[in-house]
Structure 1
Amino acid sequence: MRVVLQRVKQASVTINEQVVGMINQGYLLLVAVRDEDTEADLDYLVHKITKLRIFEDEQGKMNLALPDVAGQILSVSQFTLYAQTRKGNRPGFSLAGQPEKAAQYYDWFNQKLRATGIEVATGQFGADMAVALVNDGPVTILFDTENK
């Protein structure tokens, strides 16, 4: 799995001019699944993301995790994180998971995040979405379960 995490002051996802997910302070997650991903990959990402200390403490150091600041998550599926761009000018997406498995794992990932007590809003798997955010920092971190 690949996840691009952006620390945000707020974020939302809109489908057909209707807001379907919105958060205030927290993380915007762009999430991609491969067919080879396992439950262990989900558990690894949930642990890393919920324990990641990238919010500032009283001394201005990145020392606080999402639960410490009552942060929220907006999770958006994005298979294009597995784009292959070596050949030509049109990206290939053969590394991205088949839609059935990717949708199942995306839902499972969000359920596991919610099980930690964090509020999780989502987009809609496979939909054409408009994602808006106010980046905080900016702080952007890439997780790839192939490189644990």
Structure 2
Amino acid sequence: MRTHKIDIDHEVYVLLQGHARPFEDSVNDVLRRLLLKPGSSSNQQQMTRPPDAATPRRSGDLMPLIELGLLQPHDELVHEQPRKGVVHRATVTEDGWVRAKDQDFSKVSPALKACVGHEINGWGNWTHRTSGRTLQELREELRRGQGGSR
């Protein structure tokens, strides 16, 4: 694939960071997702407009774990910060999202970031309370259950 370099100012970079999936997206990934949406007529409007509540949302990242029976809706996720004496809690929604701090997140890392206040790997740091395993361990089991196809 042919690539080109572009310069962007800090304000645009910060906007792109706000749309990035931590530990997953490059700047190019974010731009592709925002600018190459099918049927997009006003990309600026799509970047700043909140999703329409009447539109059904897509499944969250935990849905495959629910489908395989590794997680159940309403299961609790915890992240402990022993030095601070803090335990963060979240729940798994029926559509595979994470509910934390009275918000729903389709991705696990932004949910944990909302709790701790900085970038953090949610897969490695959220623990499924029932099994005592991290979401990363459950995701690895999912991959083994699918023959390592992901």
TM-score (norm 1): 0.28
Larger Rg: 2
- Greater strand percent: which structure? 1
Higher helix fraction: Structure 1 or Structure 2? 2
TM-score for the superposition, normalised by structure 2: 0.28
Q: Specify which structure has the bigger relative contact order, considering alpha-carbon pairs within 8 angstroms and separated by 6 or more residues.
A: 1
